[in-house]
Structure 1
Amino acid sequence: MTVPEAPLPASVWEVIQIARSAWRICDGAVAESDAARLVAYVDRNETGIYDVLWLRSPCPTRSSYHDLDELLAELDAAVADAMALPRSIRPTHIPHFPPRR
Structure 2
Amino acid sequence: MTTDDLPHRGAEWEVIAISRTSLRICDPARSVSDASRLIAYVDRTDIGTYDVLWLRSPCPPRSRYRTLNELLAELDEAVSGGSASRADRPTRIAHHPPRY
Both proteins in one fold, TM over 0.5: yes
Partner of 1:92: 89
Amino acid corresponding to residue 38 of structure 1 in structure 2: L
Partner of 1:16: 16
| CA RMSD across the alignment | 1.6
Amino acid corresponding to residue 79 of structure 1 in structure 2: V
Distance in 2 of aligned mates of 1:20 and 1:92: 38
- What is the number of residues matched between the two proteins? 75
Partner of 1:36: 36
Partner of 1:54: 54
| Cα displacement string for residues 49-76 of structure 1 (whole angstroms, at most 9, x for unaligned residues) | 0000000000000000011111000000
In the TM superposition, what is the alpha-carbon distance from 1:26 to its structure 2 partner?
0.2
| Cα displacement string for residues 4-61 of structure 1 (whole angstroms, at most 9, x for unaligned residues) | xxxxxxx820000000010000001111100000000000011100000000000000
- Gapped regions of structure 2 (runs ≥ 5): 1-10, 83-87, 91-100
Partner of 1:65: 65
Partner of 1:79: 79
Amino acid corresponding to residue 14 of structure 1 in structure 2: E
Partner of 1:99: none
Amino acid corresponding to residue 67 of structure 1 in structure 2: T
Distance in 2 of aligned mates of 1:12 and 1:29: 8
Runs (4+) of structure 1 moved beyond 6 Å? none
- Gapped regions of structure 1 (runs ≥ 5): 1-10, 83-90, 94-101
Distance in 1 of aligned mates of 2:47 and 2:12: 29
Amino acid corresponding to residue 12 of structure 2 in structure 1: V
Q: Alignment identity in percent?
A: 61
